[in-house]
Structure 1
Amino acid sequence: MTCTGSSTSSYSPGITNTAQTVNVSYSTTYPTCLSLTNPSLTSASNSSSITISTSCTALPSGSGTSTITFNTGQTMTYSFTYVTAEANGEAVVTQTGTVTGGLFTGSTVARQVTYLTSDLAACSAPSGLTSITGLTLLNVIP
């Protein structure tokens, strides 16, 4: 199964050039999903949060869990590890993991979010960078 969409990350307090503890809230919508084994799955969404220590110059990594809700009301929960890389002014967050509950249990998950980091000037402002939006690709592999 493959889904595409967009993800917004909100930071509280805003991320600055100095490392600090930040609560990160993620909200993702997948308006387009394609599943050959379950064609009734046509869209999805999820939201989650995590607390990390980061700054505008850091490339965070770690682990977590997330639950995706499909248009049918069915869910999929997965555990993952993630890494962040920077390339050509974009931050690319890659998650890999395993579905632990709901639809597709036991399958492998690969999720990538590409954030255009065009508002880096906000990193120098007292309020910092408070949110960023990027394109998301989700693959669930049996």
Structure 2
Amino acid sequence: MAGSLLCLLALPLTAAAPTARAADAPAPAQALLCRGTVTVSYDPPLTSVPKPTRVSGREDFVCLSGGVTGGFAADSYGTTAGCTSLRLFTVSTTTYFWDTGQTSHVTYTTTAIERLVNGTVLVTEQGTVTGGLHQGRTAVYQMVLPQPDLLACLGDGVSHLSGTEVLTFV
């Protein structure tokens, strides 16, 4: 999933001379590697009958390399969706907000959505970091969401799904 995020930072206050802003810092030499969780919400909940739905997603990352230790993204859009729809949460541009105060803007140009044998959905996106931290690098994002509860699809509906995700900038 991919989307823009809101970041809450706890930055230390000092009386030292001004320094370069974090957003102006050069990109770290090593690739960014982050893992996390994604939660996708549906309003109204998904049912077996496709209908106009507001889809909202939030991604929360813990990063193992790349000059940051964590971040997030969030976005929403309107679409027609139901429990059998494979278009669960995809957008073409995402802004990632990092715990350093920096951002990365990514334009995804390729999206593949696959339903795996166990019913889970694998979304893979690839694109370019078009601005901010790691500008010019290739971004690859993958998320896995579980199969919606079929009984819930026939009843009150599925209001959210949560899954895992991996983000790399190489």
Q: What TM-score range do you get, normalising by the shorter chain? A: 0.7 to 0.9
User: What is the 5 A alignment of 1:98-109?
Assistant: 98-109=128-139
Q: Which residue of 2 aligns with 1:135?
A: 164
Shift of 1:91: 1.1
* % same residue: 31
SS at match of 1:122: helix
Residue 21 of structure 1, aligned match among 52, 71, 87: 52
Kindly report structure 1 stretches of 4+ aligned residues shifted beyond 6 Å. none
Q: Which residue of 2 aligns with 1:124?
A: 154
SS at match of 2:151: helix
1:16-60 deviation per Cα after TM superposition (whole angstroms, max 9, x unaligned): 11122221111111123312xx3xx11111111122222211222
User: What is the 5 A alignment of 1:1-142?
Assistant: 1-35=32-66, 38=67, 41-60=68-87, 63-80=91-108, 81-87=110-116, 88-117=118-147, 119-126=149-156, 128-141=157-170
Which deviates further from its counterpart, 95-104 or 132-141?
A: 95-104
Counterpart Cα distance in 2 of 1:120 and 1:97: 33
SS at match of 1:59: coil
Gaps of 5+ in 1: none
Change (3 A) 1:84 1:6: same
Gaps of 5+ in 2: 1-31
- Tell whether the 8 Å contact from 1:60 to 1:83 is kept in structure 2 after alignment: no
Specify the code of the residue in structure 2 equivalent to 1:131.
H
Q: Rg bigger for which structure?
A: 2
Counterpart Cα distance in 2 of 1:18 and 1:76: 37
What TM-score results when the alignment is normalised by the length of structure 1? 0.86
Change (3 A) 1:75 1:135: same
RMSD: 1.7
